[in-house]
Structure 1
Amino acid sequence: MTKAADGVPADARAAAGEAVTADDGVRLWAARPDGGGDPLVLCHGGPGLWDMFGDVAALLADRTPVVRWDQRGCGRSERCAGPWTTARFVADLDAVRRHFGLDRMALLGHSWGAQLALSYALAHPERVSRLVYVSGTGIGPDADWHPVYTAGFLARLGESPERLARWRELEALPERDEAAERERAALRWSVEFEDRECALEHARRMAEPWFGVNQACNRALNEERKRTWGTPGLRAACARLDVPVLIVDGARDIRPRTAVDSLAAVLPRVRRVVLPAAGHLPWVEDPAGFRRAILAS
């Protein structure tokens, strides 16, 4: 773990954070390191999760300061009743931009956060200097990737029959306490790593600290994607996007990387890097390759 000049671990300093007030008064947790330089603003995955970018911040600390934040109703941000829409989350991201005094910002989004960062760039291209799109699923309909993902999930978790059986047991419970929720999440997230020996350890790190998954947020934004993604209008908007975009994939992600072709094929200013030995969180399994890709963009 990297340390600041005063000896405080960087991730501990980030955990304190500060409050960003959205235009409807909801308070969002956010953090950026001390020091100058144009930061890279990070959009975490989910929907309904929280910032898990401590390793990314440490990986880039000597070259690029980062802004981390928890999305509405998630993690360390204020619990609220939504609304759970992409437009609302785009407005929240713009509040983060204003709070840190950024005229334009470089954006990195991971998984659902890649979709959010792309949505922001489409809404406000003049406010984005570059976009890094990590482990997304493209702009096609769910049918392009979700059935393959589901099959891959069961196959990869099924490599350990005990883990698959335990996940199914937890999934079937009508109610789960915090310990059961954390265990269920770690088992589910373990499929995201190509290194099967270390997969569960990596997944347990994702669940520490634990803030609880915002299931209402998750359901609503996933349903919105099913209605609005995969349209000719979205494809046309991406074809007009005059922002440099870097797409970073882990080749061993169980979401089919061919789904991302739908985005890569239409963007006018795009570069793509595929890390062959990495899964859904490429900075965990190929930190050197991930760092090279980001700093070269």
Structure 2
Amino acid sequence: MLTEIRGTRLYVDHRGATDAPPLLYLHGGPGAGSYDFLAFQGDRLAERLQLIGVDQRGVQQSDPIDGPVTEDIVIADCEALRERLGFERWAILGHSYGGRLALRYAANHPSSVSQVIFENPPWDMVLATRTLVEAAKPLLTEIGLLDEANRLLSWSGPATTEMWSDRTTLLQQLGDRRMEIYLGPSSRDLVLPAGDLPQEIQERAGYFAQTIAQSTSFNESLLPLLSRLTQPALLIKGEHDPVTSPEEIHHFQADVPHGTYRLFEGAGHFVHAEQPEEYTRAVTDFVLR
């Protein structure tokens, strides 16, 4: 349903028993929406948890917008939604870019977040996009773009909007084959159901991604925030995921006081869809423990 939050209406999918522990899902993209995750995990997680899936402002089934979007604005929306739903605290789960939002949210609002779960997050955009381009090198070589990939990987400064745009634009040249770098070997036939949504709804992702990528906060490395986490934290990593870098994993293991690292062998970037039953058990057990 559409819920009025801070001057716009957000699409909120709320499932599960009202006396079960609440879990907020933060989607990635930027701008991907919650439709795919809920298709694979909505009913599964709602068997023992109270799952709240939200399309971030302007995204997918939420109302279109034409104003500013920043990470702080998205997190403020989450806080307003928590208050609207009457939760004193809730667990949060962020997939991909949503894991970046989850880290910022948990570190800056410790009294609102009971546990935090990250699935293949990009906490540092230089490291994450480098890992992506490295994973795509075999395919980029096939289409004659290896030299361009190496040129972009020579970047030595902090993250900038130009760096992000150059690296992601390069990956877009893979066309339909781009998904090959995101999936584990046994999941190459996986189809994400959001592709069947009306084109007008799918296109809302573009404005969100373009706008938030131009904000200062988007380019900040969030690795220093890991040591500020006071909540139990779970990092889910797919063995073949091309986003979360080894350096980011190292920082999580070294800096998070109450951190648990879980590697899903054989899976890629979409662990929740590639190994759904095992994923549900891992998330549910972590929240309920």
TM-score tier by shorter-chain length is: 0.7 to 0.9
Q: Secondary structure in 1 aligned to 2:31? A: coil
The corresponding residue for 1:215 is 206
Between the aligned residues of both structures, percent identity stands at 25
User: Aligned residue for 2:263?
Assistant: 274
Relative to structure 2, which stretch is displaced further, 149-158 or 115-124? 149-158
Q: CA deviation at 1:247?
A: 0.6
Q: Which residue of 1 aligns with 2:272?
A: 283
Of structures 1 and 2, the one scoring higher in RCO (CA 8 A, sep 6+) is 2
Equivalent pair of 1:41/1:105 in contact (CA under 8 Å)? yes
Matched, 1:85 2:74: no
For 1:29, the equivalent position in structure 2 comes to 11
Whichever residue aligns with residue 233 of structure 2, its letter is V
Do structure 1's residue 292 and structure 2's residue 281 form an aligned pair?
Answer: yes
Deviations 1:228-280 (A, max 9, x none): 225xxx51x43122111111110111225413322332111111101011000
Do residues 255 (structure 1) and 237 (structure 2) align? no
Of residues 242, 248, 269, the one that matches 2:230 is 242
TM (normalized to structure 2)? 0.77
Q: Alignment partner for residue 83 of structure 2, among 95, 98, 101? A: 98
SS of the residue corresponding to residue 111 of structure 2 reads helix
Q: Secondary structure at the match of 1:32?
A: strand
Q: 1:13 corresponds to which residue?
A: none
| Residue in structure 1 matching 2:181, options 178, 191, 215 | 191
Equivalent residue, structure 2, for 1:150:
133
Aligned to 1:172: none
- Inter-CA distance 64–186: structure 2 relative to 1 (3 Å threshold): farther
Deviations 1:149-190 (A, max 9, x none): 11313535878x8xxxxxxxxxxxxxxxxxxxxxx9764334
Is residue 133–residue 247 contact of structure 1 (8 Å, CA) maintained in 2?
A: yes
Unaligned runs of 5+ in 2: 144-173
Q: Distance in 2 between matches of 1:285 and 1:64?
A: 21
Distance 1:238 1:124 in 2: 13
Picking from 205, 208, 219, the partner of 1:227 is 219
Give runs of aligned pairs for residues 37-186 of structure 1, distance below 5 A: 37-51=20-34, 52-53=36-37, 54-138=39-123, 140=124, 142-155=125-138
- Preserved CA contact (<8 Å) 2:16 2:46: no
**Mean CA deviation greater in 280-289 or 110-119:** 280-289
The number of residue pairs the alignment matches comes to: 248
Letter in 2 for 1:228: E
Q: Is the 8 A contact 1:33 1:65 kept in 2?
A: yes
What RMSD over aligned residues (CA atoms) do the two structures have, in Å? 2.4
Distance 1:19 1:81 in 2: 18
* SS in structure 1 of the partner of residue 25 of structure 2: strand
Change (3 A) 1:148 1:238: closer
In 2, Cα distance between equivalents of 1:144 and 1:276: 22
Preserved contact between residue 17 and residue 49 of structure 2 (Cα < 8 Å): no
Unaligned runs of 5+ in 1: 1-17, 162-183
Residue by residue over 1:181-220, the C-alpha shift from the partner in whole angstroms, topping out at 9 and shown as x without a partner, is xxx9764334321136x52x42443423242242232133
CA distance in 2 between counterparts of 1:252 and 1:64 reads: 28
User: SS of the counterpart of 1:78?
Assistant: coil
